[in-house]
Chain A
Amino acid sequence: MTALPTRKLEAWRYTDLRALSAISFTAPASPPTPLSLPDLAIPRLVFLNGIFAPHLSSELSFLQPFTPVAEHSAQPLTQINAEHAQAGMTLLIPPGVDAGSVLLVSQASGGSMAFHPRHRITLGAGARLTLIEVAQGDGVYWHNPVMDITLADDAALAHYRLQDESREAFHLATIRADLAKTASYESFTALLGGQISRAEFHVRLQGTGGHAHINAALLLGGSQLGDITSVITHAAKGCTSRQTVKSVLSGAARGVFQGRIEVDRIAQKTDGYQMTQALLLSDTAEMDIKPELQIFADDVKCSHGATIGALDAEQLFYLRSRGIAPDDARAMLIRAFLTEALESVTSEPALAMFETEFAQFQAAR
């Protein structure tokens, strides 16, 4: 197997995978008994320990059979995925079709096994899809999915990801999206579970007027580590990209945000914006932030910002002076802090799902 990346690689400076290297993983054997499935009234596709479970899944006319991966990638995790991928969701939405919403569920249960699904989504010109992804499980395992997204002219994908894996699990996801002219990719990722988790985005805006919105929220405690890494490449004129990443960290949790915006020489009138904010609820929580702008065009609007802080004592006192108990006051302020990151979530069932998860995080804190 290709070696795991180490902290000597710039892209892995803040996320140390030695805890993952120390475990010898096996391929999953028989699929586990499923946990309770997310209660969303939309068609779903279920994978158990990385293996497709047709008996738990809806019939979808857009679902294509899995085909083996032939790829040599310079990215270690993508390469490992390519070497081991045995299953995955392949969705092909024909031009002009609005495919509605699809729920992709990954469930796993322990036994030190690793699975490397390769998902592929292709939207034809003007096609639309809302994909809601939920990853959950029990025990120690390594979930290493790669999702390849291709959006033709005017296609629009809304992509909402809930990483709610076992607290002992490793979740290292790579999402690669190529956007043609005026295509739109709206995404929101919530990292809640996992011992170590990362969502790494590579988004290429290849046609004029494309739009990418890559938002995320990290809600972590204990000794969890969550990492959002993104590379957004503006390779055509007049594209916009937006990123809002909010982290709420308690205990000795660590959050990482590495965001790079690359603007090619021809990508004039680029409009790129990136904001990351962290709320540290303890003295031992830590946030590492690395924004990078790499601009080769001369007529662009690109900016980034970062803040790290604690809950505001004045705001807390204001709420308490109105009779609101300290825990409820803190919950209100934390929920308010996450608001801007949730702006990219326009699907009602997805929003309801995230609200429920956030409330559970608050209750467990």
Chain B
Amino acid sequence: MLEIKNLSARIGDKEILRGVDLLVPDGEIHAVMGPNGAGKSTLSYVLAGRDGYEVTGGGAIYNGHDLLAMPPEARAAAGVFLAFQYPVELPGVGNANFIRTALNAVRRARAEPELDAVAFLKLARAALKSLSMQDDMLKRNVNVGFSGGEKKRNEVLQMALLQPGLAILDETDSGLDIDALKIVADGVNAQRGLKFSALVITHYQRLLDYIVPDAVHVLAEGRIVKSGGPELALALEAHGYAGLAA
């Protein structure tokens, strides 16, 4: 369970989050929607532990872990996974080597045995197949020369292999055509279960046709201003965010 309480954060002098309250029980997928500049990406970065944000109040507890007190790699080991809005290119780093290193780091932290190259490849090929992705994705350098859709699919591949307990998808739908969107949604839906929860951050309702959320929250001006069921997303699509500001 993720419990965010009165979370406030800023970049430099700029207050971005102004007391976010959010509860995501295990096994549930929650959508966070909101206009540009509402603080959606800041929320995901603060939860994943990116530098440059100053938390000025409140906290975030995930399965008993005080997330904000942990370095990013410890959050990953605890089961937090951020699917980046703009995945970074790593020239000179092979994708298979990268994902295996990550998987083994996480497995080590969880006191699970590490996977050798052969065992990893078997696992990775199976994941690729279930996500309708090409094998060559593993041979290329991480995200180098990937199309926008391929980068997002690579995020979903990493998620499938790292098996997080909490996935934060930061506008994973941006820049995706409908086929890529379905692959990404299938990847998330395949993780659904009692021990998987997700925070799906999106600007548009479209993604939620494919990943049906248990709850929808509206983030505006750094606060959750409205919460509801999937119907809230449809209402937002029809009427926009106007009138919802705090």
Bound together: yes
> A324 in the interface, Cβ–Cβ < 8 Å?
yes
- Does B156 lie at the interface of the complex (its beta carbon under 8 Å from any beta carbon of A)? no
Interface centre among B72, B105, B106, B162 (most CB of A within 10 A): B72
B101 within 8 A of A: yes
CB-CB contacts below 8 Å: B137-190 with A: 158, 162
CA distance A331 to B104 in the complex (A): 16
Residues of A within 8 Å of B73, CB to CB, are 320-326
Known A-B contacts A323-B102, A324-B101, A326-B73; the reply to A318 vs B92 at CB < 8 A is no
- Residues in chain B near residue A328, CB distance under 8 A: 101, 105
A317 and B98 contacting across the interface, CB-CB below 8 Å: no
Report if B34 contacts A (CB, 8 A): no
Q: A314-B88, A315-B88, A340-B92 are in contact. Are A321 and B82 (CB under 8 A)?
A: yes
User: Using Cβ atoms and an 8 Å threshold, which residues of chain A touch B106?
Assistant: 322-323
Q: How far is the CB of B83 from chain A (nearest CB, A)?
A: 10
Which chain B positions have C-beta within 8 A of A323? 73, 76-77, 102-103, 105-106, 109, 162
Binary interface encoding of chain B residues 92-108 relative to chain A, with 1 for a CB under 8 A from any of its CBs, else 0: 11000011011101100
Cβ of A332 and Cβ of B101 under 8 Å apart?
A: yes
Residue B210 at the chain A interface, CB threshold 8 Å: no
Please determine whether B87 and A324 come into contact, CB atoms closer than 8 angstroms: no
- Chain A contact residues: over half helix, strand or loop, or mixed? helix
B105 touches A321 (CB 8 A): no
B49: Cβ under 8 A from any A Cβ: yes
**Would you call A336 and B91 a contact (CB within 8 A)?**
yes
Assess whether A290 is interfacial by the CB under 8 Å rule: no
> Does B112 sit at the interface, judged by CB under 8 A?
no
A313 CA to B101 CA in the complex, in Å?
19
Known interface pairs A318-B84, A320-B73, A323-B77; A336-B101 also in contact (CB < 8 Å): no
- Interface residue ranges, B against A (CB under 8 Å): 48-51, 71-73, 75-77, 81-82, 84, 87-88, 90-93, 98-99, 101-103, 105-106, 109, 158, 162
Which partner residue on chain A sits nearest B89 by CB separation? A315
Say yes or no: A313 contacts B51, CB within 8 Å. yes
A104 interface residue (CB < 8 Å to B)? no
Chain A residues with Cβ under 8 A from B103's Cβ?
323
Q: How many chain A residues have a CB neighbour from B under 8 Å? A: 23
Asked if A351 lies at the interface with its beta carbon under 8 angstroms from chain B, I say no
Q: How far, in Å, is B194 (CB) from chain A's closest CB? A: 23
Q: Give the distance to chain B from A274, nearest Cβ to Cβ, in Å.
A: 19
Inter-chain contacts of A321 with B (CB < 8 A): 48-50, 72-73, 75-76, 81-82, 84
Tell me the smallest distance from the CB of A5 to a CB of chain B, in Å.
36
Smallest distance from the beta carbon of B151 to chain A beta carbons, Å? 11
Complex: how many Å from CA A328 to CA B104? 12
Q: How far is the CA of A158 from the CA of B50 in the complex (A)?
A: 45
Contact A324 B102 (CB under 8 A): yes
Can you offer 20 A-B residue contacts whose CB atoms are under 8 A? A312-B88, A314-B88, A315-B88, A317-B51, A319-B90, A320-B49, A320-B72, A321-B50, A321-B75, A321-B81, A322-B73, A322-B106, A323-B106, A323-B109, A323-B162, A324-B105, A326-B73, A332-B101, A335-B92, A336-B91
Distance (whole angstroms) from the CB of A311 to the closest CB of chain B: 12
Tell me the smallest distance from the CB of A147 to a CB of chain B, in Å: 30
| A316-354 contact mask (Cβ, 8 Å, vs B): 1 or 0 | 011111111110100011011111100000000000000
Determine whether the beta carbon of B93 is less than 8 Å from that of A333: yes
6 cross-chain pairs, A with B, having the tightest CB-CB distances, nearest first: A336-B92, A323-B76, A322-B102, A339-B92, A323-B106, A320-B72
Q: Which residues of B contact A325 (CB under 8 A)?
A: 73, 105
A333 contacts B90, C-beta separation under 8 Å: yes
Contacts of B91 in A (CB 8 A): 336, 339
Task: Check A318–B90 contact: CB distance below 8 A.
Answer: yes
Chain B residues closer than 8 Å to A320, beta-carbon distance: 49, 71-73, 76
B190 to chain A, nearest CB (A): 19
B209 CB, min distance to chain A CBs, angstroms = 28
Shortest C-beta distance, A9 to chain B (Å), equals: 37
The distance in angstroms between the C-alpha atoms of A336 and B101, with both chains bound, is 14
B residues less than 8 Å from A333 (CB atoms): 90, 93
Q: Are B92 and A337 in contact (CB under 8 A)?
A: yes
Contact partners of A339 in chain B: CB under 8 A = 91-92
A314 CA to B90 CA, complexed, in Å: 10
With A322-B98, A322-B162, A332-B93 known, 5 other A-B pairs at CB within 8 A are A320-B72, A322-B76, A322-B106, A323-B73, A323-B105
Q: B101 near A317 (CB under 8 angstroms)?
A: no
